[in-house]
Amino acid sequence: MSILVNKSSKVLIQGFTGTEGSFHTGQMIEYGTQVGGGVTPGKGGTTHLDRPVFNTVAEGVKATGANVSIIFVPPAFAADAIMEAAEAGIELVVCITEGIPVQDMVKAKNYLLGKNTRLIGPNCPGVITAGQCKVGIMPGFVFIPGRIGIVSKSGTLTYEAADQVAKAGLGISTAVGIGGDPIIGTTTRDAMELFMNDPNTDAIVMIGEIGGRMEAEAAHWIKQQGNKKPVVGFIAGQTAPPGRRMGHAGAIVGGADDTAAAKMKIMSECGIHVVSSPADIGKKMAEVLGI
């Protein structure tokens, strides 16, 4: 079954009838994901992509039994969409939206405390369990079913890692793009814990970037747990100058421990097999597994 989503997951689309929502919903349906319908306030009672449209998430959950939602709502309204999904009892919320105001995300993250809702993102590519369920914007054909997990801050590097793993003769259990914003729902350590406890994942690829301490925290946790499964790691932004944001809002070197070199050193010291190029991820994984 792997982690977070599987062939039994029932998905509701928030921002269903917009351009992005429409395109990616079509891709998810084509992949085989169970999309029961979507939410666009004011368009309830209509149909879109041969599926019902609801005015609220609560209506959608009641009608479809959805336990997963994916958000394609503009930044100004996305935090409210996250909270609405949690209020309706959605267990997994995947927020694709980029550029949500930090103040809004502080409010949304606090709102989730104590609720039975896990948030992936925002500013992420989503989650895919290869061959079963895609909840996101990733190209499904890249993800060959297998037993390697991926947790990544970067969308494009998630796809690259999956491709490298496939070229090494391996496949993916689940890939989780956690997002690159300063405030996100599920951290690298959170995702690593899910993979470490997943019987269908034998090894894990961990992709991080400059800025913040999530990778270091995950590395120390992995070591404390006794390195139960092999982890191959890569950090993006190795040539980034201090103080300059690179790509993601959270990717900025604010101190000595935020650099790629510092993170790679910590990861290596904690028993993670660190590569300096994403092109080496699959080859290193095969080597670690003795394939």
> What digits encode the pLDDT tens for the residues 166-176?
999 999 999 99
Which long-range contacts link 167-170 to residues 24+ away (Cβ below 8 Å)?
167/282, 168/282, 168/283, 168/285, 168/286, 168/291, 169/286, 169/291, 170/146, 170/282, 170/285, 170/286, 170/289, 170/291
In a domain? residue 190: yes
In a domain? residue 125: no
Can you tell me the distance from the alpha carbon of 264 to that of 253, in angstroms, rounded to the nearest whole number?
A: 14
Model's pTM, two decimal places?
A: 0.93
pLDDT in tens, 66-98: 999 999 999 999 999 999 999 999 999 999 999
CATH number at residue 256: 3.40.50.261
Question: How many domains does the chain divide into?
Answer: 2
Sign of torsion, CA 277 280 285 290?
negative
Provide the annotated active-site residues: 248
Domain boundary among 60, 92, 120: 120
The pair of three-digit structure tokens given for residue 214, joined into one six-digit string? 């999530």
Bridge partner residues of 152 (DSSP): 177, 207
Instruction: Burial-class residue 65 by CB neighbours within 10 Å (0-12, 13-18, 19+).
Output: exposed
Written as one letter, the residue type at 273 is H
Mean pLDDT of 126-138: 98
111 with 210, same domain: the answer is no
Q: What is the pLDDT of residue 237?
A: 76
